[in-house]
Structure 1
C-alpha cells in the first residue's frame, strides 16, 4: 500500500467540483490555446490542469479529479512525488545538460545498470537513450535493419497498433486512418497483419481465444511468408504486448509463445513496444512478462521518468551493434530526466507498486465484470494490472461500437470528477497512477458505472 504521508490533501474530499467545468479560468485559457497553438490533436474534454498530487489532479478553477489517465499512462508513481521532485532539484543544481552521445556522465551508467536489471531479456544488454516513445521506435527500426546490414529490409507490424506519429513509426502505426491520412508515401517494406483481438477475432466470431491466436500465427506463416515475402528478408516483428490506442486489447496466452517460435525459426527479431504498458502498468515491470517470453529489443518511454521527456531502447548486446556515428541525438539521456528515472525505479520497488497495481486492478476489473450481465452497454472487460479496457457496445449480439455513447460517458465522468479517456473505437481506457489507494479507485469506479447506467437508460428511451 502506498504510504499515506504522500498525500498532501484529504482524500475524503476527492473528487470535488466547486464550479461546473469548464470554469471561467479554464474557458479563458482554452480560448487562448485555440488561437495560439496548432490544433493538430484533439483534446478529450475541457480539462485545464493546474497541479497534481499522487492520483489527484486539480484544475485552474479549483476542481479536484481522480486521475484515471495518469497523464496517458505516464505518471505511474503519481503526480509530484516528493522523492522525484527532490531528485530533479538536486540534479538541476549540478548540471541540466551535456550531450551523452558526445561525452560521459555517471548518471548514464547508474540508470542503465538499473534499467538492464529489470528488463526481461537474459544475457548482456545495452541501452540507447531517446526523448520519447516514437523516437524509441524509430531507433529500434534502425537497429533492427542495421543489425542485418540492411539485408533484411522488411518489418512486420499489426493492425490496431500505435507506435508513434513520426515518419518511421507512423509507417508501423495502424490504429486510426487519420494518423496516416495525407502523409503518403509511407516508409516502404512494412507489412501489417491482423492482431488477435479475442472479443473481435478477425478470423471468425466463434473462435476461442486460443484458436484466434493460432489463426493469426497461421496467417503469418501460410499467407505472409507463404505468398508475399520470404522470411529471410524480414528483420523484425514489432508488437505491443497489450495494444494501447487499438483498444487495450490483450492477446491470448498462446500468442506470444507462438510468435517467439516463428521468429526463432526464421531468425527474426521480436521488438516489444512497452511505451504504454511498461514500468509496472500491468503489475509486472514489463507486460510481456505475463507471457513468459523474452523479446530481443524493448522500447520504452512515458512512465520511465515520471513525466520528464525520456525514452530508451534496451536490447541484447549482440543486436545493439550499430557502428559509431550511425545513430545519436542531442537530448536523449538528459541528466535531470535520468535522475528522475532512477527514483522511479526505486519508488516502484520501495512502495510495492507492482503489488498495488495488481490488487487495485483486480478490483476494478471485477466491478465492471459484475455489471456486464446487467448493463447492455458493457460488452467486454479486459486488461492486466492497471491497464484495463471496458468496451462499450450498442448491442451485445452485434457488438456494434458505441461511439456516441462513449463520448457521453467520458464527458459526464469528467463533469463528476473522474478524468478518464478511451481507446480504440469505444473502449474506456483505465490507467491511473500505480499508487492509487483502493478508496479512490472505488469512488471512481462507482462514478463511471453510474454514468454508464445513466447513458444506457437514456439511449433506449
Structure 2
C-alpha cells in the first residue's frame, strides 16, 4: 500500500507534509502500515495533548459510543456536553462562563467574530500580521501569517484592518522587545487616527502567543496595553487560544501569563485530546446578545467529543499535567539552547512551557527555510516527525504531548542533533 495509489482520489488542496500511511499510534509514537515506528513531535498539530491512544480517552470514547453517538445538540441535551460546559466555565479566566461548542478552530473564530459584531453593533475588526486563525472565509480574513492563505480568494470579509505583531520579522531591524512593543502600539494608535475610528471597531483579535507566525511571545506590557485600549474604547478583545491554550504554555490558558482576561476566547485543538471539537467562551452579558438562531451547528457539542474532553480534564487534574509541562518545558528549552550553541544556524530559541520553537537563519541573518526543509526531511528519514512555522518556513515548532517523558524528549533531541550534523556535514 502506497500513498501514490490513493493520490488520484484526494484533492491537492490539502498539502501533505509526508507520504506516510499511519496505521496506529501509542503515546508519543506512530506506526505506519509497513511497521516502521516514528517519534511524533507534531501530535496532530498540538491536538493530541495526551498522546496517541491514551487509555482514559479510549475508555471514555468507547463508553459513550455504546450509549449514544449523536442526536444533535440543537434538539436535545447530552450529559457529557452539559458537564463539559460547566467545567470549562469553572476553569476559564474571569467571567467567561458561557460556552458555544463548535467543531474546529476556524469555525470557532468565525463564531467569535459574529458574536463581537452582534454585541457591539460595530463593523470593524482589527487583527495582526503574523496571525493564523483558520481557512474559512471569516477566519481567513483575519489571518495574516502568509499571503498564500488568501491567494485567489479576494474579496475577504470587509472592515478588517491589520497591524504588526511585536515580532522581529514585523518590526524595524535592531529593535529590542521594548521598542517592538512601542512600535506596534503606536501602529494601533495611528490606525485609530487615520483609518478607522475606535468607536467603529467591534473587536481586536489576537493570539496571546502566535503559533503559525513563528511561536512568537510578546511582552506582558504589549498584551496589557492592548487590553487597556479595548476597555478605553469599548472594543471587545478576542483571544485565540486554539493552539496556545489548554496547558501548552504551562498555564491552562496563555493569557494567564499576561494577567489579562479577554471578552471572548476561542479554544480547540487539545480540548478533546484528538477528536474534532472547539468552543467559544464569553460572558453571559455578551452571549445574551447572540439571540437564538443567529448562529448554529450540526455537530457542535457532540457527546463523544465531550466525553473525550471530560477525560482530558480529569487527566489534567489527576496527573498534574500543568506541572509536567512546566518541568519538561524548562528541560526542553535548556537542551534547545545547548543545540543553539552547537549550531550557529539556530538563531533563536523561544516559547513558553512546551510551546517551544527554534529559528534557523543563514550567516547573513536571512531566514533559512531551505535549511529547515533539509533538516526536517533528514529527521523524517531518522523517524522523527516535526513541523515548521513562520512566513519563511524557517522555524521548527515542537508540539509534543503535554505528558511527554524525559526519555522521549531525549530521543527526539538526539535525532534532531544527528540530523543537523548529517545535513550540515553532508
**TM-score normalised by the chain length of structure 1:** 0.89
In the other structure, the counterpart of 2:344 is 376
Residue 220 of structure 1: aligned partner? 188
Other-structure match for 2:271: 304
Q: Deviations over 1:181-214 (max 9, x none)?
A: 00111000000110011x43x3322222122112
User: Given the alignment, which residue of 207, 210, 217 partners 1:250?
Assistant: 217
- More displaced stretch, 96-105 vs 35-44: 96-105
Per the alignment, residue 237 of structure 1 pairs with 204
In the alignment, which residue of structure 1 is the partner of 2:250? 283
Query: What's 2:49 paired with?
Result: 76
Deviations 1:412-433 (A, max 9, x none): 1111121111011200010100
Aligned pairs for 1:36-51 (under 5 A) are 36-51=9-24
Contact (CA 8 Å) 1:68, 1:433: kept in 2 or not? Answer: yes
Q: Structure 2 residue aligned with 1:135, among 104, 107, 114?
A: 107
CA–CA distance in structure 1, aligned partners of residues 377 and 76 of structure 2:
48
- Asked if 1:89 is matched to 2:62, the reply is yes
CA contact (8 A) 1:55 1:435 kept: no
In structure 2, relative to structure 1, the CA distance for the partners of 1:159 and 1:361 (3 Å cut) is same
In the alignment, structure 1 residue 365 sits paired with structure 2 residue 333? yes
Secondary structure of the residue aligned to 1:61 is coil
Runs (5+) with no aligned partner, structure 1: 1-24
Are residues 124 and 447 of structure 1, via their aligned partners in 2, closer, same or farther at CA, if it must alter by over 3 Å?
closer
Equivalent residue for 2:291, pick from 320, 323, 331: 323
Deviation at 1:87, TM superposition (A): 0.7
Alignment partners' CA distance in 1, 2:403 and 2:418 = 24
2:26 to 28, 47, 53: 53
Please say if 1:204 is aligned against 2:172.
yes
Give yes or no for contact 1:77–1:348 (8 Å, CA) kept in 2.
Answer: no
Q: How many residues align?
A: 423
Partner of 1:174: 144
**Aligned residue number for residue 3 of structure 1:** none
Stretches of structure 2 that go unaligned for 5 or more consecutive residues are none
| Kept after mapping to 2: 8 A contact 1:377/1:452 | no
- Asked whether the 8 Å contact 2:98–2:287 carries over to 1, the reply is yes
Q: Residue by residue, what CA displacement relative to the aligned partner does 1:372-411 show, whole Å, maximum 9, x if unpaired?
A: 233221011101111111000112xx42111111111111
Per-residue deviation, 1:34: 1.2
Aligned position for 1:33: 6
Q: Distance in 1 between matches of 2:342 and 2:78?
A: 58
CA distance in 1, matches of 2:96, 2:24: 41
Matched, 1:454 2:417: no
CA contact (8 A) 1:392 1:427 kept: yes
**Which residue of 385, 392, 396 corresponds with 1:419?**
385
**Deviation at 1:124?**
6.0
Aligned equivalent of 1:436, options 404, 412, 426? 404
Q: Secondary structure at the match of 1:87?
A: helix
Q: Distance in 2 between matches of 1:254 and 1:366?
A: 25
2:204 & 2:271 partners in 1: Cα distance?
23
